[in-house]
Amino acid sequence: MATTLAATAAPSQTRSFTTIFLIEMWERFGFYGMQALIVLYMVQRLNFSDDHANLVWGAASALIYVAPAIGGWVGDRVLGARRTMLLGAIVLGLGYALMGMPTDNTWALFGALSVITVGNGLFKPNSGNLVRKIYEGDDSKIDSAFTIYYMAVNIGSTFSMLLTPWIKDYVNRHYGDGFGWHAAFLVCALGLLVGLANYSLMRKTMRHIGSPPDEAPLHMGKLSAVLAAAALLALGASVVLNNETLAEIFVYGAGVVLLGIFAYLIRASDRSERSGLLAALVLVAQTIFFFIFYQQMSTSLTLFALRNVDWNQTLFGWHLFTWNPAQYQALNPLWIFVLSPPLAWIYTSAGKRGKDLSIAAKFVLGFVMVAVGFFLFGAAGHYAGVDGKTSSWVMIWGYGLYSLGELLVSGLGLAMIARYVPARMGGFMMGAYFVSVGISMYLGGVVANYASVPRNLTDPLKTLPVYTALFNKLGWAALVCTLIALAVLPLMRRLSSAHSSHADAAG
């Protein structure tokens, strides 16, 4: 009898979390390996202007992050969170494989990005919702788990952001210019295959975690309907990417829809749930501001690294290594990998003593760090040589400060949904959170265009002030966000207190 009970006992939370952690890590390996190269691919290979590349990637990012609003609903109500997450991983792998096709046709690029959009929409909200379900009911563990989960993102992205630019350069050098870009994108598809293989080996640890549809046999009619809808969405996304006006209408329309969703849910929810939803709305608004800063990594900061950074890293006169411009994006996940474990330990320890800071207070500290980081980027002109190139150390420390801010804001965004939103709408609200991120990504591309460099301007001494002026303005903008976050702290305390009281009463 004891043997039977042991055999049927549910796997530990740690084992279940590890399964999601690993597939998330490989999924992010693919996504960030692509992101590291995409703007440079458009500018250097497809000969897009800075303006065009920034806006295309901004629109693609918006679509990629808006799509989870639908994917969350599919996971909650149609296929189940586990199945939808796996389907998303398969579609993402297909998208990266399409980018690996040896063609520089812009429609091929838009088509591949559209498939990636659909795949991310299916994968992203459901992986996060599964983490929430593993630790449901323990706020301090949820904060800690999502911080470590966020580290999975950055383990995968660190390796891919270092690897794919190197592969691109190596293949271009040995097999001809152009092939390297596509070989690097194929490596991103390989990452998804590894992630799926790993999940298949560990799938038993997730047998008790999921949404209600996961417990029923797979309905082939529903699967066919989801695949057909996914194909139509991919086609529509490719049309939007090819038309800047449509992209702008779509993004701003998504913002209106997002507000409408929150208004409806707050109005239709039980009185006991409203304080939590209002708290989530305030924090989502702050998240939108944050991701405008985040989008600079793959746009203005990458182009700044291309034109105004000395790629040779030295220490006390000793040459350590040489990076290419795309690899500087890896500084973000490297820093987050270093900072995540101590932050998770601080959250857990403070929670045990009853002294954990609220998520709203962590948002305030996060914006302060982002401000200091961009001011450091803005100071790069003071450390530039006569050739207009600044030291790599500016990038290293600037990314370090920014990354700490990211952990305090974006790293807790999913935990915010898990803490404040009722379980019955968890997947859908994970999707709504990503809609807000998508809006920010497009706005981030618009902001990056304030540092757009004309094609005929190649002198680093003349491009340097264009970038530093933008970075200083972003530093001031982050300080304004800090003041706004401070101003709403009293409101957040009241909402959080009311939410906790209702949760305790319900428990």
pTM, two decimal places: 0.82
Predicted local confidence at residue 336, as pLDDT = 81
Structural tokens at position 444? 């981030």
Give the model confidence (pLDDT) of 183-232 as tens digits.
Answer: 999 999 999 999 999 888 887 887 777 778 888 888 888 889 989 999 99
Domain positions in the chain are: 13-506
For residues 125 and 328, the answer to whether their CB atoms sit within 8 Å is: no
Burial (Cβ within 10 Å: 0-12, 13-18, ≥19) of residue 445: buried
Predicted local confidence at residue 506, as pLDDT = 54
Predicted local confidence at residue 1, as pLDDT = 42
**CA-based radius of gyration for the chain:** 22
In sign, the C-alpha dihedral spanning 430, 435, 440, 442 is positive
Predicted local confidence at residue 415, as pLDDT = 61
Give the model confidence (pLDDT) of 410-420 as tens digits.
Answer: 655 556 566 66
Predicted local confidence at residue 208, as pLDDT = 78
Among left, alpha and beta (phi > 0; psi -120 to 50; other), residue 443 is: alpha
Q: Is the CATH number 1.20.1250.20 carried by domain 13-506?
A: yes
Q: Please state, in angstroms and rounded to a whole number, the distance separating the CA atoms of residues 155 and 143.
A: 19
Angle between helices 331-352 and 139-175 (to 10 degrees): 170
Name the stretches of the chain with pLDDT < 50: 1-7
Predicted local confidence at residue 3, as pLDDT = 42
Angle between helices 359-378 and 460-487 (to 10 degrees): 160
Percent helix, strand, coil in the chain, to 5, is 85, 0, 15
